[in-house]
Amino acid sequence: MKPDRQHLLHELLGGEPGARREATLLAGARILRRRRHWRAATRGLACALPLLVAGLWWNIAPRPRPSTPAPLAAQPPPAPAGPKELTDAELLALFPDTPVGLATLANGKKQLIFPRPGDEAKYVVHL
């Protein structure tokens, strides 16, 4: 190039050749940095997308449900385990505010004794 043309280009592009070179290098570094960030973001998304799809599939996929027992109303009530034996104190506590006695017979059985005539008919049912 002729020196006049070079001089004209330097004036149009501005400043010294060293400053232009520095500006060009900074712009190129910015472009390369942006490309590197996009590549990293694309790779991260490519790795995370299958995990996200698998997680969604795991939550949505039907799982075998355990068999549910029949409703409680349809089940028969459990059979009683048998009569519970009461202690003497528990037996006498069943008759509050009522005079009652507990007598042991000769054969070892115990019998309730009600001194008032209406109390035995009120509390005891003979089968």
In a domain, 73, yes or no: no
How does pLDDT run across 25-80, given as a tens digit for each residue? 999 999 999 999 999 999 999 999 998 888 887 777 677 777 766 565 566 677 77
How does pLDDT run across 78-97, given as a tens digit for each residue? 777 778 888 888 888 888 88
46 and 9 in a common domain? yes
- Domain that residue 54 falls in: 3-60
Q: Which of 95, 103, 83, 93 is nearest to 120 (CA)?
A: 95
92 and 56 in a common domain? no
Total domains, the chain? 2
Q: Kindly report the pTM of this predicted structure.
A: 0.34
The reported pLDDT for the residue numbered 94 is 86
The reported pLDDT for the residue numbered 98 is 87
